């Protein structure tokens, strides 16, 4: 069982999150479940904090509803410009599920970071997440799959969707966000997605067998030298487009000869 982390109660001058007013001290502003029922939601994280403690800290009113998986308690609110939902299904392991409205310019880790700051806890409170290197999506909490008719895609299904709509998965279409999501997905499927891509890119480049795949991709995308960091938006998008093109070429090569991932 995940050990719960304590969080402080609300600051002394924080008004209830349901009391919308200018100049209020509470950083959260609550919307009702009824008002927010049409939000298309995307899972962000499972926090090792109790939902009741989150509600006390942000002075949220928890609402109770029901779905095909039983009773659920939740609160819908806006914090730092982001729409959040915190929830917990009856019978689930302890913890607070965090969701947000799909889309938007802020990457998932930054979204959750603003919530952690408001709760006065650090990243150690994140039990699972939907982003970043090392994210163990294979252990994704059951609640994240609820309502999905197809919980598991083949690699081909995933790639066909990811390459055309990367923002649906990575949140922010940047080279860092895209590679971070792909690394997490690859970890979740035990290397089945990117197996062989590093060797294939090194063979294509003619050197770099000791480099990670995204570093090799950058060398192929920018043959005259990697742009100075931080990259301009134009160079960042060029890198994303180039990476997706290289991976698409790799997967096409595999489709032709699955036993020969390197040469081509």
Q: CA 227 → CA 40, 204, 221, distances in Å?
A: 37, 21, 11
Q: What is the pLDDT of residue 20?
A: 66
Sole residue written with tokens 């390197």 = 262
pLDDT at 22: 65
pTM > 0.85: no
Residue 111: predicted pLDDT: 78
R_g (Cα) of the chain, nearest Å: 21
Tokens 């036993």: give the residue. Answer: 259
Closest Cα to residue 80, out of 39, 111, 53, 102?
111
Report the alpha-carbon distance of residue 16 to residue 10 in Å, rounded.
Answer: 9
Q: Which residues of the chain have pLDDT under 50?
A: 1, 132-135, 137-138, 140, 144-152
Tell me the pLDDT tens digit for each residue of 229-240.
899 999 999 999
Helix axes 175-188, 233-256, angle to 10 degrees: 30
Under DSSP, the state recorded for 14 is P
- Cα–Cα distances (Å) from 121 to 5, 98, 114, 117, 208, in that order, read 8, 15, 10, 6, 41
- In Å, how far are 7, 19, 44, 73, 118 from 11, measured between CA atoms? 12, 15, 26, 23, 10
Check residue 222 and give its pLDDT: 96
Which pLDDT score is estimated for 149?
Answer: 39
Structure tokens, 145: 């799959």
């Amino acid at each position: 069982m995940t050990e719960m982390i304590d969080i402080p109660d609300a600051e002394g001058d924080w008004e209830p999150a349901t009391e919308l007013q200018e100049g209020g001290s509470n950083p959260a502003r609550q919307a009702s479940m009824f008002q927010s029922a049409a939000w298309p939601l995307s899972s962000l994280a499972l926090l090792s904090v109790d939902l009741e403690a989150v509600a006390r800290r942000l002075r949220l009113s928890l609402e109770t509803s029901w779905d095909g998986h039983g009773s659920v308690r939740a609160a819908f609110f806006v914090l730092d410009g982001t729409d959040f939902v915190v929830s917990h299904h009856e019978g689930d392991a302890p913890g607070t599920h965090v969701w947000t409205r799909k889309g938007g310019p802020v990457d998932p880790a930054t979204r959750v970071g603003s919530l952690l700051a408001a709760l006065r806890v650090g990243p150690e409170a994140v039990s699972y997440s939907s982003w970043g290197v090392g994210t163990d999506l294979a252990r994704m909490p059951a609640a994240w799959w609820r309502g999905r008719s197809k919980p598991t895609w083949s690699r081909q299904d995933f790639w066909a969707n990811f390459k055309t709509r990367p923002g649906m998965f990575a949140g922010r279409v940047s080279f860092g966000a895209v590679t971070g999501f792909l690394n997490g997905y690859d970890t979740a499927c035990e290397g089945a997605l990117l197996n062989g891509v590093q060797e294939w890119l090194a063979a294509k480049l003619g050197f770099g067998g000791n480099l990670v795949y995204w570093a090799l991709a950058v060398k192929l995308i920018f043959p005259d030298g990697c742009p100075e960091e931080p990259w301009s938006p134009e160079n960042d998008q060029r890198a994303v487009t180039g990476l997706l093109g290289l991976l698409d070429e790799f997967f096409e090569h595999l489709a032709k000869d699955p036993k020969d991932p390197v040469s081509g």
